[in-house]
Structure 1
Amino acid sequence: MFFGLAFGLVLVLPYRLACAQKFYDVAPAFEYRNRSFFLDGKPFRFIGGSIHYFRIHPMLWEDRLMRVRSMGINTIQFYIPWNYHETEKGKYNFVGSRDVVRFIKLAAKNGLKVLLRLGPYVCGEWENGGLPWWLLLYKDLKMRTSDPRYTNEVKKWFDKLLPILLPYLHRNGGPILMAQVENEYGSFSECDHNYTEFLRNLVKLYFGPDVLQYTTDGPSKDLITCGSVNGTLTTIDFGPSSNETVDKYFSIQRSFAPDVPLVNSEYYAGWFTLWGQQKQSFPSTSEVMNTIFHMHEIGASFAFYMLHGGTNFGFWNGAEDVGPVITSYDYAAPLTEYGDTTPLYIAIRNWISGLKDWSWPPKSLPLPIPKIEVKGEELYYFGSFDQYARAAKLDRRCRSSVYPLSFEQIRHPYGYVIYSTTLESVGTNLTIPLLKDFGFVFMNSIYQGVFVNKFKDVSKNSILLRNATSGSSLSIVVENQGRQTYETINDYKGILSNVTLDGKVLKNWLMCGINLKYIYEWIFGTHNLEGSRRLFKKTPQKNASEKKVGPGIFFGTFTVPYAADTFFDATGWHKGMILINGVNLGRYWPSIGPQVTLYTPAPVLQYTNNIVLIELQKPNSKCYEGNCSVDFLDHPIFRYLDD
């Protein structure tokens, strides 16, 4: 990058035994007794919080950890999402943005202790709660239970993950103090203690009996009854509350575990945001701080959720029952999505500065990363979704079936799939009883309307086609908006029922997953695939007024004079996603809001930058005026009704 920006069973079992012989005879270095933690024999408590390596560009990991440590924080906490490291069954990835060991080492370098949240379910408003999509290939699988098909896959994952983490336990000279099993399991309806005890035993097998394991649940007896696990530390989570309420919550924790330290593992200073959310309110700085004062006064340890939220890059956002989580995961955290300090950050830092018994005083504040504005960068129309499907078919990247197949069945887990067929008769009423999540309908490349499975209180499973004739090409671009992250369900995506036209079932479907890497290489790479040669026979055109283009694929380039953060301004566009230099910045949907801009981290940029943009509904109106372009701003934009 031109800027130089500073930013096996047979094998495994003997390894476990060797570790046991070498380490387990040594007295634990981190423990609790008499309601207090002890680190190397000295009283210890943590003031920490969550920061997710998978929501931060890896070249900015150390920058963010330095900013966290500069607050006076001594501990970080983070999930390890299984689906981020095993996107395909049996193929593990621990490099680049998935190099969790590097993140742990950077934490240690900056004087931070680590609380690991191993899952395998993590929630975190993350796609499928962190569980791999390919688990859905098991018919009627019961995730987060003792279903042997599920626990077998969990064991394979932990057999891979835990030996990687073992050298970084505090006992072995690393920063890891504790490991959480599952996540808020008390909120899950199954309440399967055989499953959670299986997880506890598996972690103990690798980490040894002296490493503290913990659970986190809401502060109610019912939740902790299902979520707590014998032999682990029971902790709770809650947000700003009155002193009386805080005392009540901790008394519930103590009723289950009288001798444990008081711990709030997720102290909520903010919350996540959904697409289409019209209002958002967060606790005031004084409300957040008042609860901090009281928790500290009564001897509790606590961890913010979040200290730094980051970004749901790519297609990694999760969804709630009423709709998907936005691309930004700012969470109203003390550090913004792009790493700037907030009034809450300053308040926490000032408070910690005044603590007399605190061994991790704040450090000097790092300078903010500069931000840049670039406007009027031209885009060109590459092709329609129909053109893409025809080209992809030539390159054998599609599946054919009499009836529609799901995303999972065609092994295309995320993003978009184009479902295409040819009409054999005239018709008007197109109906799909079950499609997840959105289906954008085109006939002869002309946009017809959209199917909606469920968004807020809106569902739509039929539309009226205009001028449909025998031989017309029908395409439905289906978007997976993120699998449900909470109260785990088997959240299949795609067209999940028959498609009918005036009651007649449509057959003979071609299904082509939209491969963003494939598109990027078509446009900017050297691939000479048959599909791309055919598609490029027509010279890409600037969107002049005489060429009124519809939804589809756009591309362009722009330059920046120096390394800086910026924000893609989606104003005027409707719904889609954007790649810059091959990095998927995430989804945009300004027509529904509240997020309008997408954070573009400085390490993504070069001097000359390539753009690929997928627009599902309607291009920017500028494209009809001979000036199809995009802007990048030096600040983010969110629009709420009360703004």
Structure 2
Amino acid sequence: MTNLKISGTHFTMNNNPIQLVSGAIHYFRIVPEYWRDRLVKLKACGFNTVETYVAWNIHEPEEGSFCFEGMADLVRFIETAAEVGLYVIVRPSPYICAEWEFGGLPAWLLRYPDLRLRCLDPLFLTKVDAYYDVLIPKLTPLLSTNGGPVIALQIENEYGSYGNDNLYLEHLRQGMISRGIDVLLFTSDGASDSCLQGGTLPDVFATVNFGTDPEGSFRKLKEYRPNEPLMCAELWNGGFDHWMKPHSTRDTEEVVEICEQIWGAGASVNFYMFHGGTNFGFYNGANHGAGAEAVYEPTVTSYDYDCPISESGEVTPKYHAVRNVLAKFMDIGDCQLPEPIPTQSYGAIRVTEKVSLMESLGTLSSPVVYPCPEPMEKLGQKYGFILYSTTVSGPRMGEELHLQEVHDRALVFLDGEFIGTVERWNPAPLKVDIPVGGAKLDILVENMGRINFGPYLKDYKGITEGVRLGYQYLFGWTIYPLPLDSLNSLKFKPIDKTGKSNEPNFYKATFEVETAADTFIRLDGWTKGNVWINGFHLGRYWNRGPQKTLYLPAPLLREGTNEIIIFELHSTDDFVIKLEDTADLGE
């Protein structure tokens, strides 16, 4: 039996002192075929532990329907870590943040209008308990007390940055214990009075998260826990990107200096992230601060994070720098890296077929009729797009069209003609002229990712309040949910080269592969949309950047013919995409 214990101000394992050197790797951001590669690289860097969040929304995508297969095979990931020789820290909090859609909470929770998140609300706790009834029994055989690699579990995640309901935290703690969790339990919070007061329990090990000033952060932690080991549960050694913002990086020398301070103090650490991975599909999150100037900021598809292992698994200069400084403090042996994963440029691929969204509505969606333009969640929809259609009487010249609380980005069409975009972060009204006899109004809204941190977690999608011309609300809507979870019904036709389209279209291309290798999709000349490869949803692209390429892992390719589908919301200058052998995450 291997059991992590607290002995005064130090950790011990089998009565021997141990300093935890951990790195965060999220199984749900990596294709399973690459889990071992990333874990071996973590071990080769000298680390002894891997940490992962557990994303509730991938394990219970529909209420009462559970998934622990493929990229959601948490047990296999933990078992692989054990085979590599790593301890495992699991963070199965209902909420994880992680720049992940809704902070890992399942979108179906928002179907319950009276439900309160992350507190002792009986309805919320009922949903958490039902999830834990399925999740926790999968973890208990993997605990170190049962001969497995899992040495610690987190109760909640940075709770002090959200609330102060200690009874809620105690409910989660007791829920883990009653289901058989008998390893070290802990909390992780910012190094401030409010966070450490609101997010901790007196008899639960407390850690702090930070990116700078280890000395000051640990000093604050010691004020509350003078007789416990010091641990940084999240050392932010890189950074993530928002659309329309510069690419985020973290200077390697700064990271090295902070590591020297942490390890020199004998503290334990978890690198957040050690390997970031990808926000595949619609699973990227978003941020929204609480200040007067704060706006909604959606996260990009790449979660490279500028950390020691790149999005595509390459060892970076930061990796070697971190390993070199770690070697000053402990014996980590030789660096035995696996063979690099090959990349390949498959060249330019011409798109040959397309079909418009509007003519595909009948096969992609089952419309419903409501007086008001209701949000996705009321219709049981989680992700994707939603189209609102109504008829407006005329003449009404020089009116202003207001979309009240559109979440998150809307394309507006009048009698089939695109007239403008309304964005959550720039909700200016559109000027419209309604002719004699009236006009058909269509509004296509994109859910760009639910907020994952802060006070605005309850983030409904679509048009969440109403649509009005001037002061007059418009009623009588036909609504088309468009989750785009299957595109098999699309009826593609050869592209008409006579003109450039300015409406949402699906485009299709095929290409041949003799040997599958990692590659990167570049969409120069395209505007904004989503990409699927052989039915797998890679994620979003946008020419506003910073991200310029989408990572396509080799296991998603097949020898022979491969199919790419692009859902372009606006237009493209050229019906060509490129598959290159290097990533471009922007500047």
TM tier relative to shorter chain: over 0.9
Q: Which residue of 2 aligns with 1:633?
A: 580
Decide which of 394, 402, 417 is 1:446's aligned counterpart: 417
Q: Choose which of 518, 529, 534 in structure 1 pairs with 2:486.
A: 518
Tell me which amino acid in the other structure corresponds to 1:416: F
1:575 to 512, 528, 531: 528
TM-score w.r.t. structure 1 length? 0.86
Separation of aligned partners in 1, 2:437 and 2:100: 43
The question of whether the paired residues in 1 share the 8 Å contact of 2:2 and 2:144 is answered with no
Q: Distance in 2 between matches of 1:493 and 1:315?
A: 13
Aligned to 1:195, which of 142, 152, 168?
168
1:230 & 1:158 partners in 2: Cα distance?
Answer: 23
Gaps of 5+ in 2: 289-295
- CA distance in 2: counterparts of 1:39 and 1:116, whole angstroms: 17
Separation (CA, whole Å) in 2 of partners of 1:596 and 1:514: 26
Structure 2 counterpart of 1:408 = 377
Matches of residues 389-538 of structure 1 in structure 2 within 5 Å? 389-392=361-364, 397-427=366-396, 428-454=399-425, 458-460=426-428, 462-465=429-432, 468=435, 470=437, 472-488=439-455, 489-519=457-487, 521-523=488-490, 536=491
Aligned positions of 1:330-349 closer than 5 A: 330-349=304-323
Alpha carbons 1:389, 1:418 under 8 Å: kept: no
Partner of 1:140: 114
In the TM superposition, what is the alpha-carbon distance from 1:548 to its structure 2 partner? 4.5
Deviations 1:141-198 (A, max 9, x none): 220111111111111111111111000000111100000111111111x311111111
Q: 1:128 to 1:263 in 2, by over 3 A?
A: same
Provide closer, same or farther for how the CA distance between residues 445 and 634 of structure 1 changes in structure 2, counting only shifts above 3 A. Answer: farther
Give me the whole-angstrom Cα distance separating, in 1, the residues matched to 2:100 and 2:501.
38
Aligned pairs, number: 576
- Relative to structure 1, the CA distance from residue 166 to residue 362 in structure 2 (aligned partners, 3 Å threshold; closer, same or farther) is farther
Query: Is 1:102 aligned with 2:55?
Result: no
Q: Per residue, is there more strand in 1 or in 2?
A: 2
Q: Would you say the 8 A contact 2:95–2:104 is kept in 1?
A: yes
Q: Give the match for residue 253 of structure 2.
A: 286
1:465-492 per-position Cα deviation (integer Å, ceiling 9, x unaligned): 3675636432211011111111143111
Give the letter for the 1:490 counterpart. Answer: K
Match of 1:431, SS state, is: strand
Determine whether 1:314 maps to 2:261. no
Is the partner of 1:485 in helix, strand or coil? strand
Q: CA deviation at 1:362?
A: 4.4
Q: C-alpha distance in 2, partners of 1:620/1:477?
A: 19
Determine the C-alpha separation between the residues in 2 that align with 1:636 and 1:97: 23
What secondary structure is seen at the aligned counterpart in 2 of 1:621? coil
From 261, 267, 272, the counterpart of 2:235: 267
Give the aligned partner of residue 532 of structure 1.
none
8 Å CA contact 1:382–1:553 kept in 2: the answer is yes
Mapped to 2, the partners of 1:205 and 1:424 lie a distance apart of: 62
SS of the residue 2:452 aligns to:
coil
Matches within 5 A, 1:19-58: 29-58=3-32
Deviation at 1:541, TM superposition (A): 2.2
Q: Is contact 1:352-1:361 (8 Å) kept? A: no
Shift in CA distance, 76/604, structure 1 to aligned 2, threshold 3 Å: same
Cα offsets for 1:426-479 (capped at 9, x unmatched): 44532222211111112333221111122xxx332x212367563643221101
1:578 Cα deviation from its structure 2 partner: 0.6
Q: CA deviation at 1:551?
A: 2.6
Q: Which residue of 2 aligns with 1:23?
A: none
Distance of 2:532 and 2:143 partners within structure 1: 38
Checking the alignment, whether the CA contact within 8 Å between 1:117 and 1:181 is kept in structure 2 is: yes
Q: State how far apart, in whole Å, the 1-side matches of 2:343 and 2:504 are.
A: 31
8 Å CA contact 2:364–2:489 kept in 1: the answer is: no
Distance 1:548 1:161, change over 3 A: closer
Structure 1: stretches of 5+ with no match in the other structure: 1-26, 524-535, 623-627
1:117 aligned partner, one-letter code: R
Match of 2:219 among 251, 267, 281: 251
Find the residue that maps to 1:129 and give its secondary structure. helix
Deviations 1:102-151 (CA, angstroms, capped at 9, x unpaired): 00000000001001111111111111111111111222322011111111
Q: 1:568/1:469 Cα in 2 relative to 1: closer, same or farther (>3 Å)?
A: farther
C-alpha separation between the residues in 1 aligned to 2:281 and 2:104?
15
Are residues 1:382 and 2:335 paired? no
* Contact preservation (8 Å) 1:552, 1:616: yes
The 2-side partners of 1:446 and 1:66 are apart by 54
Task: Please tell me the residue identity of whatever aligns with 1:464.
Answer: K
Query: Which amino acid in the other structure matches residue 173 of structure 2?
Result: R
- Quote how far apart the aligned CAs of 1:511 are: 1.6
Q: Cα gap change, 1:546/1:232 in structure 2, threshold over 3 Å: closer, same or farther?
A: closer
Alignment partner of 1:101: what SS? Answer: helix
Q: How far does the alpha carbon of each residue in 1:540-561 deviate from its partner, in whole angstroms, 9 at most, with x for none?
A: 1224135746332111211223
Following superposition, the deviation at residue 41 of structure 1 comes to 1.9
Distance 2:535 2:554 in 1: 14
- CA-based RMSD: 2.0
CA shift in 2, pair 1:203/1:362, >3 Å: farther
Query: 4+ residue stretches of structure 1 with deviation over 4 A?
Result: 466-469, 546-549
Q: Note if contact 2:352-2:507 (Cα within 8 Å) is conserved in structure 1.
A: yes
Higher mean C-alpha displacement, 136-145 vs 28-37? 28-37
Query: 1:286-319: per-residue Cα shift (whole Å, max 9, x none)?
Result: 2211221222122111110000001100010110
Change (3 A) 1:490 1:499: same
The letter of the residue matching 1:77 is E
Aligned equivalents of 2:339, 2:382: Cα separation in 1: 40
**Cα distance in 1 between the residues matched to 2:483 and 2:194:** 45
Whole-Å Cα distance in 1 between the matches of residues 101 and 523 of structure 2? 23
Amino acid at match of 2:175: L
> How much does 1:254 deviate?
2.0
CA contact (8 A) 2:241 2:247 kept: no
The 2-side partners of 1:638 and 1:258 are apart by 43
> Which of 549, 556, 559 is matched with 1:604 structurally?
556
Deviation at 1:353, TM superposition (A): 4.2
Q: Which residue of 2 aligns with 1:18?
A: none
- For 2:32 and 2:338, how far apart are their aligned partners in 1? 18
Distance 1:477 1:374 in 2: 34
Tell me if the contact between 1:108 and 1:174 (Cα under 8 Å) persists in the aligned partners. Answer: yes
Number of the residue aligned with 1:216: 188
Task: Measure, in 2, the Cα distance between the counterparts of 1:392 and 1:247.
Answer: 56
| Structure-2 change in CA distance of 1:323 and 1:37 (3 Å) | same
Among 163, 177, 181, the residue aligned to 1:204: 177
Shift of 1:236: 0.8
The CA distance in 2 between the partners of 1:219 and 1:266, in whole Å, is 11
> Are the aligned partners of 1:69 and 1:362 in contact in 2 as well (CA < 8 Å)?
no
The correspondence for 2:144, drawn from 166, 170, 191, is 170
- Paired position in structure 1 for 2:199: 227
Distance 1:553 1:100 in 2: 34
